[in-house]
Structure 1
Amino acid sequence: MSATLAKRTTPRQGRARIRVQAILEAATRLLVEAGYDALTTTRVAEEAGISVTSLYHYFANKRAIVAELTGHFVRHRKSDLDLLIERADRGEPWQGIVDTLIDDLTQAYRAAPVTAIILHALKADPELRKLDDRINAQVARQLTRLLEAMGIAKRRASTLARIATIMLDAYVIEVVRVPQSALGTLSREFKSILTAYIALDMPEAPRR
C-alpha cells in the first residue's frame, strides 16, 4: 500500500484504539450523509470530536481513512471465502458453495450503506483505484483456490477466477444500487450465470 493510504500509526493503547474507532465511525457517517467528494479530514475530525492534528497522527488524508474502512470490509470477505474453500475441500456440492458466495456478498453489501460510497470512491479516485486493483487480485487468488478445491485444473481455475472476479465486482455495484424489490431477481439471475459459467469446466461426475 502506498504511503498516502497506509495508516501512519497503529494504535496499541486503549485510548488510541478508541480514537481511531471514533475517526472511522465519524467518516462512515459523513460518507453516508454527504458522499466521498464532500469528505474532508477537517469534517471527520470535527465529527469525531478531536483535533485535525490528532487525526493526522493516524491518517495522512481522507484516502487513508477510506482505505482503512475498505480493509475492515475486505478482511471479513476474505474470511468468508476461506470458509467456502474449506467446504469445497470437504467435497460439498459446488453449486451450493456458489450460492453461499453470492448470498454472503449480497447480504454484506446491502447491510452497510457506506459500501456504495466506498465502491464509488475505489473506482473514481486514481489513488484508491490502485487499492481496488490489489483487492481484486487478492480475490482472484482466493477464487482460484476455491475453484481448484471444486475440482477444476489449476491453470484453468486461474483464468476462470479472473473472469469471475470481474463479474463479482460488477455484481456488488448493482447490489448496492437496486431497490430491495429487485434484489431477489438480481441474485437469482447472477447465480444462474455464474453457475453455468463454472459448470463448463467442472469435471464430469464418475458414472456408476
Structure 2
Amino acid sequence: MESDQPRGNLPSANKKAEEYLTPRRDPVQQRSRQRAQQIIDVTGELLERVGFDDLNTTLIAKEVGISVGTLYHYFPNKHAILYAMGLRWLDGIEAILGQIDKWPLEELLLEDAVDRLITLNFKVYKKQKAILTLVQAMFSVPELRELDMQHDELIISRMALVFKRLGIHKHITERERLARFYLEMTHSLFLVLVNQTGERAKRTLSDLKLMAYTLLAQHHKELVDLPTRFPWDT
C-alpha cells in the first residue's frame, strides 16, 4: 500500500515505460484473445510455483507451448504480462464495487453490510492466482507501481461513498481517512486469508469482520450498540 501523500499518474513524458508495459498488439480475433488470456493464466500459475524472481518469458513460453518469439507478439516482457494480470484484478474489484453500488445500503443494518462487503470483496482475492506475489510486485516493481496506486485510489474513493450511504455522515476527508484505514486492514488480512484454510481461515475472516464493524460503528451517525450475535457467527 502507498502512503497518504497525493498521487498522480506516471509522468506523461515517460513514454518508454508505457511502451515497456504495452502489449505488442491488441488481440482482435477470438483465437488471439484466447492465446493472450492463456499466457496471462499460465503466468499466474507459474508465479505460484516459482515466484517472481525466477519467472521469465522463456519459462512462460515453454509452459504455454509456444516459442518465445510468438510470446513476444503478445507481450514484450514479463512485466507487461503482470501488468495485464493486475489490470484484470482491478477490473474484478471495480465489478464488485459496481455490485455494491446497487445494494440498498441505507436499509441494511451495519453488521449485515459489513458481512456482505467483506465476503464479496474477499472473493476477488481468492479468484486471482498468485495474488500475494502479484501484489508484492505491484508495490515493489517501479513499472507496476501505478497499478498499486490505482487500486488504492479506487477503493478509497468508492468506499468513502459507501460509508456515507451506511450512515457515516462525516466530511469527505474524514470518510477517505476511514476508507484508507479500512483498505489497509482488509487488504493485508485478505492476503493472509488466501493462504489459510478450514477453521483457521473461518476464524480469521470472522475477526476481520468484527474489526471492520467496530471501526465503522464508532463513526456512525447513531450510536450503534454491539449486537448480541453477528451474521458471521456460527
Whether 1:177 aligns to 2:192 is: no
Whether 1:198 aligns to 2:208 is: no
- Alignment-derived partner of residue 205 in structure 2: 187
- Tell me if the contact between 1:9 and 1:57 (Cα under 8 Å) persists in the aligned partners: yes
AA partner of residue 33 (structure 2): R
AA partner of residue 85 (structure 2): L
AA partner of residue 63 (structure 2): E
Output aligned runs, 1:52-91, within 5 Å: 52-89=68-105, 91=107
Whether 1:159 aligns to 2:177 is: yes
- Tell me if the contact between 2:106 and 2:167 (Cα under 8 Å) persists in the aligned partners: no
Whether 1:45 aligns to 2:61 is: yes
Whether 1:139 aligns to 2:149 is: no
Change (3 A) 1:82 1:123: same
- Alignment-derived partner of residue 115 in structure 1: 131
- Alignment-derived partner of residue 13 in structure 2: none
- Tell me if the contact between 1:152 and 1:202 (Cα under 8 Å) persists in the aligned partners: yes
- Offset at 1:110? 3.3
Q: Distance in 2 between the 1:43 and 1:25 partners? A: 13
- Offset at 1:95? 2.3
- Tell me if the contact between 2:186 and 2:208 (Cα under 8 Å) persists in the aligned partners: no
Q: Distance in 2 between the 1:201 and 1:144 partners? A: 12
Q: Distance in 1 between the 2:129 and 2:35 partners? A: 23
- Offset at 1:111? 4.6
Corresponding residue SS for 1:97: helix
- Offset at 1:125? 2.4
* Structure with the largest fraction of helix: 1
Q: Which consecutive residues of structure 2, in runs of 5 or more, have no partner in the other structure?
A: 1-9, 11-16, 224-234
- Tell me if the contact between 2:45 and 2:129 (Cα under 8 Å) persists in the aligned partners: no
Whether 1:105 aligns to 2:131 is: no
- Offset at 1:90? 5.5
AA partner of residue 193 (structure 1): M
- Tell me if the contact between 1:88 and 1:97 (Cα under 8 Å) persists in the aligned partners: no
- Offset at 1:179? 4.1
Change (3 A) 1:180 1:125: farther
Corresponding residue SS for 1:87: coil
How many pairs align?
Answer: 205
AA partner of residue 77 (structure 2): N
Q: Distance in 2 between the 1:131 and 1:77 partners? A: 12
- Tell me if the contact between 1:87 and 1:97 (Cα under 8 Å) persists in the aligned partners: no
Q: Distance in 2 between the 1:123 and 1:182 partners? A: 27
User: Normalising by structure 2, what TM-score?
Assistant: 0.78
AA partner of residue 162 (structure 1): R
AA partner of residue 169 (structure 1): H
